Structure 1
Amino acid sequence: MVLRTANTWSVTERTATTLSARRRVRDAVEAACALGWAIENQGSESGIVCVGIALTSTTSQDVVISVTGPVERMTSDRLAEVGTLLRKLAGDLAPEEYTFASTTD
Structure 2
Amino acid sequence: MAYADRHDDHDAASCPLTLLFGHEVFRRAYFQRAAEETSDSERIAELIPDLFLVREMEVPDAVGDRLTACRDLGRLRAWVVRALDATDSADVFMLEQPA
Q: Same fold (TM over 0.5)?
A: no
Q: Which has the larger radius of gyration?
A: 1
Could you say which structure has the higher strand fraction?
1
Bigger relative contact order, structure 1 or 2 (CA pairs below 8 A, ≥6 apart) = 2
**Which of the pair is proportionally richer in helix?**
2
Q: TM-score, normalising length from structure 2?
A: 0.29
